[in-house]
Structure 1
């Protein structure tokens, strides 16, 4: 079959967006490692342009280290840290910031090229520019988050961390959806959303809310509160749930309540995703629907296994980072299924 010129351009645009999405996935993983190694507050300055150049001499390293030694984290937690130890945590945060700048470059310049050469399908440019603006907002939000830990209390706000994580997933999800749109091409005139389509959208939103719940767990270090499963300590309902004043605030600030809510949310999603996958398999949309159902269940079981293992092994860095990556995989599988239902594809 001879490809039309627009189809050829669509594949170029999709390839570029897939590369950007893959780098964002790496960024989310690196962000998790940066947090888990307590490296996020090692750079006490935000220099969007000059910050891409790391310390290159002993004098430069000492200057950066001296600035860090004036920070609350050093004075209250890491007092006496050696320069060599500082270099390790600095490099995690430095690479995280450099990767963020790289994503901006990978996205902006090809976007301009595709726009000027007329390769972007009609109606797609507003969404691409929205992604670019959201990427800029993510950089600002990241620094706003870091600033919360450069005051008297050397810990970033769990609210700002969750917002930063949530926006990263929003950007990824929007980009992934655009990729699916571009690869699928225009919807056939007779195509209608499947009856399950609203449930696909609801499930994607629930997975996103689950990710925000995980952000609160990470921001408060609630994962360390109970390293047992399926019980929390010696009971399913641990003592102290919603015992604060006001009680609703415990959902955001009490580590016992936060971990309990994350577990309950996981149980709910476990049941709902299995039911959804069963209906998707029987949806009459053919092989692609069965593939989507299989991918969704595989992603779910992978994420559940990683989550329980992370908890039982007391949050090792490798497993905790993999669990964060697993959230990306699960969200991707959910979006793929939702997109398939939204297009109402004919049986394959």
Structure 2
């Protein structure tokens, strides 16, 4: 697996476990960050702060003059003119606080990673071979902050009232990569051994395929969010009475339909989610039949259950025309789906062959 840190067999358990639990805590913070990001996007709050100030931006406005300055800046962008014109400084404060909390949470994640990393490093508690991976994770966290600003800046352009869908998907995708790497590293530290009976190779391949479909469905969901495609075709399973919506291939060249055509983007998200759901249920059924009671079997059953729940949330979000609370819950549960897939993959790793 690409996220496997391969901790050495000689690493002491009392070194591995504290680091693993620290990383699981960081993963939990990233999960909450994704949820905050969903709420920020759905409420249109993400463009309320028009300055990139990693240090001074930690503090909120402390005077009415500063509030007025920031509000005046916000009134220069299209979102204010076309969406929120006249909502006053009190309306501005409501969207400001959510975006400020989102950015503050990102800073807290950085501290929650950096400070324990320095402590473990100075104390000599980090197993050999793990230091480069931890430094990479810290660098990716910093990159995610820069990508976040790169995304937000796209919403200040003259013809936009929201951020670029492409930059939104880049930001979401990097968040999922970072979360997955942190989680996989923690799992490898908690369960470094690969003992026990071999699992069916076909089952492992099915779970790998399921995980791939799930990730593709999540990225397709990013384009649905970026284009606000969930506000149309609010019927299920058909789209305005058709299986494949009219106008699926109306853009030229064809590939533009995959990212810029509302009908095609929503259909692709539905299709990928359905294929991933069927694959997850098949993997759960196979695991229940072929595996003995234990962590691997439980992980596959959990994967099937979580994916089924997420599918139901997606359908409900669509039928209810994307209320903020349900859309946020749907994005939050997507990280739960990724978690279940990674845990299942980790549990199904084949045993290592003994060294000759």
Structure-1-length-normalised TM-score = 0.93
Measure how far apart 1:104 and its partner are.
0.4
Q: Does 1:19 align with 2:34?
A: no
Quick one: structure 1 residues 234 and 291, their matched pair in 2 at CA, closer, same or farther if it must change by over 3 Å? same
Measure how far apart 1:281 and its partner are.
2.6
Q: Does 1:129 align with 2:142?
A: no
Q: Give the aligned partner of residue 168 of structure 2.
A: 161
CA–CA separation in structure 1 for the residues paired with 2:11 and 2:237? 56
Among 284, 294, 306, the alignment partner of 1:277 is 284
Q: Does 1:225 align with 2:232?
A: yes
Q: Does 1:68 align with 2:74?
A: yes
TM-align CA RMSD: 1.8
Measure how far apart 1:92 and its partner are.
0.8
Measure how far apart 1:5 and its partner are.
8.7
CA contact (8 A) 2:42 2:324 kept: yes
Q: Does 1:204 align with 2:208?
A: no
- 1:166-207: per-residue Cα shift (whole Å, max 9, x none)? 11011111111111101113445x887762334333322221
Alignment of 1:112-123 (within 5 A): 112-123=118-129
Quick one: structure 1 residues 209 and 42, their matched pair in 2 at CA, closer, same or farther if it must change by over 3 Å? same
Among 164, 182, 197, the alignment partner of 1:175 is 182
Alignment of 1:1-348 (within 5 A): 6-152=12-158, 153-187=160-194, 195=201, 196-284=203-291, 286-344=293-351
Measure how far apart 1:150 and its partner are.
0.6
Quick one: structure 1 residues 20 and 343, their matched pair in 2 at CA, closer, same or farther if it must change by over 3 Å? farther
Count of paired positions = 341
Quick one: structure 1 residues 115 and 313, their matched pair in 2 at CA, closer, same or farther if it must change by over 3 Å? same
CA–CA separation in structure 1 for the residues paired with 2:283 and 2:143? 34
Measure how far apart 1:222 and its partner are.
0.4
Query: Which structure 2 residue ranges, 5 or more long, are not aligned?
Result: 1-9
CA–CA separation in structure 2 for the residues paired with 1:280 and 1:79? 55
Measure how far apart 1:133 and its partner are.
0.8
Structure-2-length-normalised TM-score = 0.91
Query: Which structure 1 residue ranges, 5 or more long, are not aligned?
Result: none
Measure how far apart 1:339 and its partner are.
0.6
CA–CA separation in structure 2 for the residues paired with 1:267 and 1:192? 30
**Secondary structure of the corresponding residue to residue 278 of structure 1:** helix
**Secondary structure of the corresponding residue to residue 155 of structure 1:** coil
CA–CA separation in structure 1 for the residues paired with 2:163 and 2:153? 8
CA–CA separation in structure 2 for the residues paired with 1:312 and 1:43? 32
CA contact (8 A) 2:229 2:262 kept: yes
